[in-house]
Amino acid sequence: MLSFAQKMVIALMLCIAVLIARLDQLSSATHPIEKTETSGTRYQEGHWEKWREPITVVTAFLVAVGLAQLGLFWRQLGFIRESLDDAKKAADAAEGAASAATKQAKIAEATLTQLERPYVFIFDVKEFGFDPETSEFFVEYSVANYGKMPAIIEGAYISFVFSDKGEPPLPTLMADSHVLLTAPILQVGEKREKIREYVPTGMTTGDIEIDVTDADDPFGKTGAIGPVFDVPKGNDVFFRAIIEYRGPSSHGHSTGALWLANYPANGQFAQRGGDEYNYIK
């Protein structure tokens, strides 16, 4: 399918071809010699007189019209190109504005999500406790939601672990009977205290370690007790907790906390691990 410009060029070329053929005919033709009625003299009609013939005039007119239309067409093409350039610039500006608006909307949404979301904390890990009924050691901790939205707990990994490189592994997943999973919704401002986690069977020798530090020592605590851990030599024992949760309109939140359990300070725990293990996401 020919475009309008191609059709114009073909028409112009046809007109020029007709004009050239006509001029060639005029230049090579011979004309009869005629007599005048008055003088009886002969004359030969000049070639340029043929320009006054209708077909020559029409051909020349068509060529002129074709040239004028072609010039007008190219002028219109120039206007179209300028219009397209302006339209492209306007489209690029609109795209840039839309992109900036989208970024601003995402930033606003992220900011709102950070404000209007649950924030779960794990804390109150202090020292070992001893259950005389089971003769087992445990640690107590608290979990609270201090965000602006309820927290829905999806998973809880909480246990004692040990490592010889200071890189405690992931704790085991709590059973569905765990208190955090039987009632997984933490309301805004809700705090659950004195949740117990027992030292796993086989991690201790069953002996009790009693601290008899001098009471006059300001950093000591007479009578503090703790288990004797049965772990490979050179390993440290940690208490690690990870809670995964979501909000009513936000997802993928997680809180982690880590304490050194066999901290040589009268059976007390010491928080360790930095931001890698202690975080709220």
Dihedral sign, Cα of residue 152, residue 145, residue 169, residue 262: negative
The reply to whether 26 falls in a domain is no
Give the per-residue pLDDT at 232: 92
Classify residue 258 as exposed, middle or buried by CB count within 10 Å of its CB (0-12, 13-18, 19+).
buried
How many structural domains comprise the chain?
A: 2
- Considering the domain architecture, whether residues 97 and 187 belong to the same structural domain is answered as no
Give the per-residue pLDDT at 208: 78
Give the per-residue pLDDT at 104: 75
The reply to whether 43 falls in a domain is no
Q: What is the pLDDT along the chain (281 residues), one digit of tens a residue?
A: 656 655 666 666 666 666 666 655 655 554 454 544 555 555 454 554 555 556 566 666 666 766 777 777 777 777 787 778 778 888 888 887 787 777 777 776 666 667 889 999 999 999 898 898 988 999 999 999 999 999 999 999 999 999 998 889 999 999 999 999 999 999 999 999 999 999 998 898 887 776 655 555 544 455 567 888 889 999 999 999 999 999 998 999 999 999 998 766 556 899 998 999 999 99
The reply to whether 78 falls in a domain is yes
Give the per-residue pLDDT at 87: 80
Give the per-residue pLDDT at 62: 65
Q: Which of 63, 86, 115 is the endpoint of a domain?
A: 115
d(CA 164, CA 195): 28
The reply to whether 237 falls in a domain is yes
- Considering the domain architecture, whether residues 91 and 219 belong to the same structural domain is answered as no
Backbone angles phi, psi at 143, to 5 degrees: -130, 130
Domain extent for 82 = 4-20+50-115
Find all residues with CB under 8 Å of 63, minimum gap 6, and list them.
12, 15, 16, 19
Tell me, what amino acid is at 98?
A
- Considering the domain architecture, whether residues 220 and 271 belong to the same structural domain is answered as yes
Find all residues with CB under 8 Å of 202, minimum gap 6, and list them.
230
- Considering the domain architecture, whether residues 155 and 276 belong to the same structural domain is answered as yes
The reply to whether 29 falls in a domain is no
Give the per-residue pLDDT at 30: 47
- Considering the domain architecture, whether residues 219 and 274 belong to the same structural domain is answered as yes
